[in-house]
Amino acid sequence: MFEDRPDREEVVLVGRSNVGKSTLMRELTGHSKFTTGQKPGVTRSPNHFDWVSENFMFTDLPGFGFMSGVEEEHREQIKTDLVRYIESNADDVLAAVLVVDGKSVIDIIDRHSGPDEIPHDVELFHFLWDLEVPTIVAVNKMDKVDDRDERLDDLCDRLGLHPPWKQWRETIAPISAKRGDIDALNEALRTQFHEQKRDDLLKFVS
């Protein structure tokens, strides 16, 4: 399911199931074809939205972690495929957007932290950094968070970034995709496009 990739540079969206990646994809592209649902795991294979003339695409990769009605073996395979996809195409990835649920991400990270366990979100963040893929953490559903700055500082701490979060605006982007509030992410993507001399793509994140 990961083989039919168009030959383009891309921005990839990654993250756990049910954090709002497909909703964010709709906001980024202005296109309503992306399936969203209440159940985790609606996206099972990469969704590409490409602009041939610019040799560019946004890609919504399948979510990892718990998925309703999906056996663990298949969930692990999706994660393996996801890692392989990013490794294979790292040279063409202009930026990776790691989408997390601002309301629950700290609890999830803490629940899965231990001597023998690294939380998926933290593992993926460092995996992307190790590949030298520019990584932006889109902290979604922030409209449901009261202690905004404290929550974002805690997330920086868990990811190994020194708080306060405001010094990481190119990396930490608080958003509410469902409400169409993705300005912080667009700003971070504009910075990445400009640094990589792809100002022709700025129109997609204006």
The H-assigned helical ranges of the chain are 21-29, 72-89, 105-111, 120-130, 148-159, 183-195
Name which residue leads in pLDDT, 69 or 115: 115
Span 9-205: which CATH code? 3.40.50.300
Three-class SS state of 63: coil
Q: Mean pLDDT of all residues in the chain? A: 88
Per-residue model confidence as pLDDT tens digits over 60-75 = 998 877 555 667 777 7
Q: What is the mean pLDDT of residues 171-178?
A: 97
Per-residue model confidence as pLDDT tens digits over 144-163 = 999 999 999 999 999 999 99
Q: What is the mean pLDDT of residues 129-153?
A: 97
Paired with 138 in beta bridges are 99, 173
Residue 166: the pLDDT is 96
> Does position 57 have pLDDT exceeding 50, yes or no?
yes
Q: Which residues of 164-200 are buried (b: 16+ CB within 10 A; e: fewer)?
A: ebeebebbbbbbbbbeeebebbbebbbbbbeeeebee
Per-residue model confidence as pLDDT tens digits over 92-113 = 999 999 999 999 999 999 998 8
Question: Residue written as tokens 């795991």?
Answer: 41
